[in-house]
Copies of this chain bind each other. A is one copy, B any other.
Amino acid sequence: MQNIRRTARLAGIAALFLATTASASSPPPPSAVDLAQQGDDPAWAITEALTTEIGPRQAATEAEAAARRWAVARLAAMGFQNVREEAFMMPTWVRGAEEASLIGPFQPQKLHITALGTSASTGPKGLEGEIVYFASYDALVAAPEQSVKGKIVFIDHQMKPAQDGSGYGQYGRARFTGANVAAKKGAVAVVIRSIGTDSHRAPHTGGTNFETGVKPIPAGALSNPDADQLVRQWKRVAAGTASAPLRMKLLLTPQNLGQQQSGNVIAEVPGSDPAASPVIIACHLDSWDLGTGAIDDAAGCGIITAAAKHVMSAGQPRRTIRILWAGAEEVGVFGGKAYFDAHGKEKHAVALESDFGADWVWRVDFKLPDSAKALTDRIAAAVAPFGVTRGKQAANGGADIGALVAAGVPAVDLAQDGTRYFDLHHTPDDTLDKIDPVQLRQNVTVWTATLAILANSTDSELP
């Protein structure tokens, strides 16, 4: 309901602005923002077509290569310049069979599980073991080795939705490094409650990281309802109402394929001043394999590209706009690293990224030089009519432009509503039907307003 109300309000705002524009007696040519609010939405078209014609596109697989070919053709057809692939090599992990069951002390039941990226294989026969329960990542960290050794570690938690997505960092540790902690304590496998806020039998995948020298163990995530079931059984066992320990059977057979090729796709809107440093805008083209990567991150590619298209259509900007559809973000930001290796020494005026779904932009954050004070005021004023407030914290930039921002490139964040993002993130449910075209268009409008100002900023404002 909240989303529907939001949608209606955003549509109303958009209509108001259109009416204002249309009522002028001698209308000026449409601005980039006018274009973003009218007619077809290239963001929807890109998101619909990429998810329909390519679908899932895991890094360094044939599907991601097909997505790059598709992307080059699409970006060229939209009138962008210097459209190209920039290839790189990367270690590649692919999913195999994945099954889990609770096998005692109650009637055996199948669970919905998915392997985490870099999980080891159980081998084709799987493994069985006793479950040891931890209420949180921190509880596992604090546990003595002997309580874990030889067992299947289960990590529970209570992640809840937040508009700014802030639960991901805290609760995400169970996925990011829980397997590593369990492996070092001698666990035979680790199973976590999904880092997700939904109640569907769709487990959330994502990468997990083993330290150098730590031998990977099988690592999987259960859906929230499956984790609930495990916890209910665990509580009976812990309360002594069941006669035997809680046991699981686990089969995960992922494979490491060694070094495989991935790549970035780059396109540009050439600026009128060849000496001016470019504005770089980024998304990622790869997706996890379970869904079709609609919110993560086809929509991001649609949003940034639509904004660039509208700015280009309204008249050549002073600065070049460089569009980066990064490869291999999900599995370790290999595309962002490859871009930085190839282009990190070039000057960049400012960097922005869209990689948090397709729900509306509610806040703008800046990390700009002091010289850009008037510029930030112009952007804040330009996006305020669309419901976007000015944040008090520094922009952080995003994964694919992370190395650039760490190296000092200024950044602007157009923060999206993440209330339902972790319902869908890295699940089979990341599909086109989850995208609300009205909220998607608000993203494009806010991005267009921001990008038009940045791409026409002066050299005294941005480096």
Chain A residues packing against B (C-beta within 8 Å): 1-2, 48, 51-56, 63, 66-67, 106-107, 109-110, 112, 199-202, 224-225, 228-229, 232-233, 236, 291-292, 427-429, 431-434
Please determine whether A107 and B54 come into contact, CB atoms closer than 8 angstroms: yes
**Is the beta-carbon distance between A106 and B229 smaller than 8 angstroms?**
no
B residues less than 8 Å from A199 (CB atoms):
429, 431, 433-434
| Complex copy number for this chain | 2
Residue of B nearest to A105 (CB): B53
Determine if A54 and B112 form an interchain contact, defined as CB atoms under 8 angstroms apart.
no
15 further A-B contacts with Cβ under 8 Å, apart from A54-B106, A56-B110, A199-B429, are: A51-B229, A53-B233, A54-B107, A55-B106, A55-B107, A66-B107, A199-B431, A200-B429, A201-B427, A201-B429, A202-B202, A225-B429, A228-B431, A229-B292, A229-B432
**Contact of A431 (CB < 8 Å), options: B52, B55, B229:** B229
Roughly how many angstroms separate A200 CA and B200 CA in the complex, as a whole number? Answer: 8
Given A199-B433, A201-B202, A434-B199, decide whether A292 and B109 contact each other with a Cβ distance below 8 A.
yes
A55-B229 CB under 8 A given contacts A1-B1, A2-B1, A107-B66: yes
B-side contacts of A109, CB under 8 Å:
55-56, 292
Contact B232 A52 (CB under 8 A): yes
| Neighbouring B residues of A232 by C-beta, 8 Å | 48, 52, 432
List of B residues within 8 angstroms of A431 by Cβ: 199, 201, 225, 228-229
Which residue of chain B has its CB nearest to the CB of A63?
B107
Of A201, A236, A432, chain B has the most CB atoms within 10 Å of the CB of A201
**8 A–B pairs (Cβ distance < 8 Å), ordered by A:** A1-B2, A55-B109, A67-B107, A201-B202, A202-B202, A225-B432, A228-B432, A229-B432
